[in-house]
Structure 1
């Protein structure tokens, strides 16, 4: 019995040893191991550039788009190619928003426009990057342009409660009554934005129209619209009521004649219209007796210095969108 137990013990011990050896062999095996999958590379969320009409961001009803390239020719985005119907919808939204905006106190309008400048300051780096892309400027030069655009909002906002004192008057009359001349907003203003200055030129034409209570429909720079679309995101989150500013991207040769000929547009700014087409646009505007604002004679749009404060910060630019009521 003792021998059997001893033998049995040896057998169990011996049978266990090969198992451990086999286990070690498997651990040291060179067989291919299954790799642990790492995190998948992240796909950037690309921005969709839309229109801005009535405080909302619709796509164009036509479903069309066109390619936008950087200053060096690199494709960077597709923008909506606005249609005639988009222009009509924008004018309708502006007309609806105009009475409420015009009825606000001058001080309140100034505060609202100052708020736009505050929000632009918070997105300054984004505007700088987009101006670099659009206009091919160096980053330090683009910062100057963006800073000047923000400052220009502030400059025109400050005129909200002062322009009436400068342009208005108390007129002498031969009688026991008073006679006053008071500036009033024109109404709905169509603005064909400058082509080469994608942000600063746009702000310099839009702010003077807004400060006195007009509502605007803007055709952006055709080749450089992206900073303008980013500006609409600022407007949408500021205190500017929906419909007061409406922005459409697309081809000016298609959209500018529609805007100029629309009978519910009271004034049009043709600064961004090419010289070859400007006369036709002005003739369309005069058919329904629009007020027309344009570049001074002999001034080329691509040579104008938008950084020149003396040329761009002028009460006369506000007066271009006013009617004088006596």
Structure 2
């Protein structure tokens, strides 16, 4: 039990965060949670310890949301991503405080990282209706046909969030996945999950349909193998995978022909992201159409 607050005689109530699945905030089916501590060791809150069943439920929610999300116009998806940026802007003080506590950094640095995370949503909102123009093509063919290629979303993508960047890193790996029409099951970093959970609250109060993004907390090493082997997951981003397990996860993902984004070395989350995180979970659809004679 935590000690009584000085001068009050009362025990402070620690918030226990839940999972974010299907647009709702369920408890872990196991009922378990774990303490989240600041960089100095202070007990900040409790987070749900997601189980294999929770991961399966998140995949079901993401699969159910996929047809509707992929079927929206790219322009509308961009509008919704921009709305997420607006919701984050309204909570920037809370995000900055959580980052500062998790990483032991100053207020100015934390505010800079929040600004970068908000801007990252705006960046991918702008790309939503432009990526098809960059990656699509009208192909030259010998015959009376139109031959057109265009990118389409792969489906449900499991995302292992980078533990070293509890807000900007999460946004940087999730936003490009959903900007292109995929849905996501995200495993937040175990050490500092609070910014990702506050992001879930911002997503829930934005225009993002339930199930498009699902956020699990707990041990990445426990959840990742189940997502890598899940037959209804179409791709996996291994950015937050433990170095010793990344190769095993990739081999497991290969059994169900998943698209895999391997973890990079020394990621600079403040750098210009380009489109390199948008392309791994897109498939190219080519259509032939006869030309009227």
Aligning the two structures, in what range does the TM-score lie when normalised by the shorter sequence? Answer: over 0.9
Q: Contact 1:135 / 1:197 at 8 angstroms: preserved in 2?
A: no
Q: Flag the 1:287–1:225 CA change in 2: closer, same or farther, 3 A.
A: same
Q: What's the TM-score once normalised by structure 2's chain length?
A: 0.93
Q: Greater strand share, 1 or 2?
A: 2
Q: Is the 8 A contact 2:138 2:146 kept in 1?
A: yes
1:285 counterpart residue number: 253
Selected match of 1:118 from 82, 86, 111: 86
Mark the structure with the bigger radius of gyration: 1
User: Which residue of the other structure, out of 267, 272, 286, is the alignment partner of 1:304?
Assistant: 267
Report deviation, 1:46. 4.0
Q: 1:85-117 CA deviation, whole Å, 9 max, x = no partner?
A: 000000000000000000000110000000000
Contact 2:99 2:167 in 1 (8 A): yes
Q: 1:295 Cα shift?
A: 2.5
Aligned to 1:321: 281
CA contact (8 A) 1:182 1:325 kept: yes
Q: Equivalent residues in 2 for 1:31-110 (5 A)? A: 46-110=14-78
Contact 2:38 2:44 in 1 (8 A): yes
Please state how far the C-alpha of 1:167 moved relative to its aligned partner.
Answer: 0.4
Q: Which has the higher helix share?
A: 1
| 1:197 and 2:165 matched | yes
Q: Does structure 2 conserve the Cα–Cα contact (< 8 Å) formed by 1:50 and 1:57? A: yes
List gaps (5 residues or longer) in structure 1: 1-39
How does 1:222-237 map onto structure 2 within 5 Å?
A: 222-237=190-205
Aligned position for 2:96: 128
Q: Over aligned residue pairs, what C-alpha RMSD do you find? A: 1.3
**Structure 1 match to 2:290:** none
Q: Is the 8 A contact 2:185 2:213 kept in 1?
A: yes
The one-character-per-residue Cα deviations of 1:248-284 (angstroms, maximum 9, x if unpaired) are: 0001111000010100000000000011110111111
Mapping of residues 209-248 of structure 1, within 5 Å: 209-248=177-216
Q: Which residue in 2 is equivalent to 1:144?
A: 112
Q: How far apart, CA to CA, are the structure 2 residues paired with 1:112 and 1:42?
A: 43
**How many residues get paired?**
279
Structure 1 runs of 4+ with >2 Å offset:
40-48
Distance 2:183 2:268 in 1: 26
Separation in structure 1 between the aligned mates of residue 148 and residue 258 of structure 2, nearest angstrom: 25
The CA distance in 2 between the partners of 1:246 and 1:224, in whole Å, is 17
| Contact 2:95/2:195 (8 A) holds in 1 | yes
